[in-house]
């Protein structure tokens, strides 16, 4: 017997039928690119071209073109890396954790969120490669038999853990995303002709939609979700260990793993919202990505934002309570209440802790405009968080004579611009050529989502 809830609002509005879902979602894949898509794509490609030029010179000249100095050895590169990896986390969270918790509202947004994950991790990887200075030697981070004697990578190092974590995360996310796409590619294949049929036919791997295949598909999805859940937590935990296992005051903090994970989910959801709000308008998906979806995501933002806020306060408390002088200096005198980067600290506090609290008001969290503005503010705030942790801690080290201020150069900015160009170019290509909403999953929740939908 089908159990329907009369209380819950429908997941898909507009009285859509199963057939409507196919038509609505396939429309942008099958039709010509819209004018707004073309404009956005052109801007992205120009951005990518400018960024690529800067990245090329970074590689050609070496990372001396950045504003790094002998004191601040990591700055925008690792800030951007951690920021992008964090953004990726919402995708896996939506697909995996919400799947395990049987949160059916995820079905409309999981596809785009997973795509965002993959592109964000690619952007993060570009900074890892760039900050190596000699990216053609990147394979040194992989344990390969070599001619230097039996010289292996150091498995005690969090930087090596990062290599394994990020590459596994990218691979598993890609596989999870692709497995989810297969049935939808089959739907497009059956509607297409000619070369398009051949391409989508190859992409669909010969999916026939038999009950046996669906049964296996569901088992695979569930196990992948079960594997991805600890994976996503491990990735940002390991990223945080890049800092936490060192002895730099301001980095050497046991709270980092959960604090970074919460921050990652926080920024990831903000980026999902930014993208989905644009996508739903450009592709007219208001019936699929409803106010309820936006409200649910805003609730997660206010939760994770509060966790991040508690983490900031805990850091200050522990600096005081531990009685470690260097820690107190780093946290109080150089970060929260003084130092060269006081402005960055309070920008972070305002964006990450204070502004999301507005989502406690139903009017704010159900407003498209407020959500869009606050989602961007949160992303700016999370970038500042990574910047504050990295740059303030390094700029004033144990030796006052070597204290230095970091100022970015055009190449620091250009490489950051590159990542935006790459991200949006890939995301726009995805929205045009791949079904942006998971048709099969939306169809499966269409009927059970509410009484109104049962016809």
Contacts to another protein by CB under 8 A: 2, 17-19, 22, 143, 149-152, 154-156, 158, 160-161, 164-165, 168, 171-172, 175-176, 179, 182-183, 186-187, 189-191, 201-203, 205-220, 222-224, 227, 230-231, 234, 238, 241, 439-441, 443-444, 447
DSSP 10: P
Instruction: Give 119 or 176: the residue with its C-beta nearer to another protein.
Output: 176
Instruction: Give 47 or 92: the residue with its C-beta nearer to another protein.
Output: 92
CB of 165 to another protein, least distance (A): 6
Whole-number Å distance between alpha carbons of 117 and 271: 10
User: Helix (H, G, I), strand (E, B), or coil: what is residue 393?
Assistant: helix
CA-based angle 101:108:222, to the nearest 5? 40
CB of 203 to another protein, least distance (A): 8
The DSSP line for 309-324 is HHHHHHHHHHHHHH--
Instruction: Give 214 or 326: the residue with its C-beta nearer to another protein.
Output: 214
DSSP 398: S
How many Cβ atoms from other residues are within 10 Å of residue 350's Cβ?
A: 14
The DSSP line for 377-430 is HHHHHHHHHHHIIIIIHHHS-S-GGG-------HHHHHHHHHHHHHHHHHHHHH
CB of 233 to another protein, least distance (A): 10
CB of 444 to another protein, least distance (A): 4
Instruction: Give 216 or 362: the residue with its C-beta nearer to another protein.
Output: 216
Instruction: Give 227 or 310: the residue with its C-beta nearer to another protein.
Output: 227
CB of 237 to another protein, least distance (A): 8
Whole-number Å distance between alpha carbons of 429 and 388: 34
CB of 197 to another protein, least distance (A): 10
CB of 451 to another protein, least distance (A): 14
Instruction: Give 234 or 409: the residue with its C-beta nearer to another protein.
Output: 234
Closest CA to 54 of 438, 430, 410: 410
DSSP 145: -
Over the Cα atoms of the chain, what is R_g? 23
Instruction: Give 189 or 335: the residue with its C-beta nearer to another protein.
Output: 189
Instruction: Give 34 or 168: the residue with its C-beta nearer to another protein.
Output: 168
Closest CA to 125 of 94, 171, 156, 157: 171
């Amino acid at each position: 017997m089908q159990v329907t809830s009369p209380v819950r609002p429908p997941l898909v509005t507009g009285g859509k039928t199963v057939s409507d879902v196919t038509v609505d979602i396939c429309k942008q894949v099958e039709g010509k690119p819209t004018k707004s898509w073309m404009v956005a794509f052109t801007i992205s490609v120009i951005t990518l071209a400018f960024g690529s030029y800067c990245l090329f010179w970074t590689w050609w000249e070496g990372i001396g073109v950045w504003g790094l100095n002998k004191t601040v050895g990591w700055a925008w590169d690792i800030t951007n890396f951690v920021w992008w990896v964090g953004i990726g986390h919402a995708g896996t969270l939506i697909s995996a954790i919400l799947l395990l918790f049987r949160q059916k509202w995820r079905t409309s947004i999981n596809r785009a969120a997973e795509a965002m994950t993959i592109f964000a991790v690619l952007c993060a990887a570009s900074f890892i490669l760039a900050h190596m200075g000699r990216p053609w030697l990147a394979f040194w981070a992989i344990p390969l038999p070599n001619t230097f004697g039996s010289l292996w990578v150091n498995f005690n190092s969090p930087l090596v853990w990062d290599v394994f974590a990020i590459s596994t995360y990218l691979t598993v996310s890609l596989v999870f995303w692709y497995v989810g796409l297969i049935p939808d590619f089959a739907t497009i294949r059956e509607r297409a002709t000619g070369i398009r049929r051949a391409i989508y036919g190859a992409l669909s791997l010969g999916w026939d939609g038999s009950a046996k295949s669906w049964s296996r598909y569901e088992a695979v999805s569930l196990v992948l979700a079960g594997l991805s859940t600890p994976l996503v937590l491990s990735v940002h935990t390991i990223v945080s260990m890049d800092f936490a296992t060192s002895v730099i005051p301001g980095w050497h903090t046991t709270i980092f793993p959960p604090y970074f994970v919460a921050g990652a989910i926080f920024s990831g959801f903000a980026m999902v919202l930014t993208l989905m709000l644009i996508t739903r308008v450009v592709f007219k998906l208001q019936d699929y990505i409803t106010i309820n979806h936006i409200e649910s995501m805003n609730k997660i933002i206010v939760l994770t934002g509060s966790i991040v806020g508690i983490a900031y306060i805990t850091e200050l408390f522990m600096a005081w309570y531990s009685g470690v002088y260097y820690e107190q200096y780093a946290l109080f005198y150089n970060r929260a209440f003084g130092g060269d980067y006081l402005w960055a600290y309070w920008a972070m506090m305002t964006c990450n802790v204070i502004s999301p609290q507005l989502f406690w008001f139903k009017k704010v969290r159900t407003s498209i405009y407020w959500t869009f503005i606050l989602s961007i503010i949160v992303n700016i705030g999370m970038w500042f968080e990574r910047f504050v942790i990295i740059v303030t801690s390094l700029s004033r080290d144990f030796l006052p004579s070597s204290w230095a201020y970091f100022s970015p150069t055009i190449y620091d900015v250009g490489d950051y611009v590159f990542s935006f160009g790459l991200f949006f170019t890939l995301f726009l290509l995805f929205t045009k050529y791949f079904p942006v909403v998971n048709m099969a999953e939306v169809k499966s929740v269409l009927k059970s989502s509410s009484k109104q939908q049962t016809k």
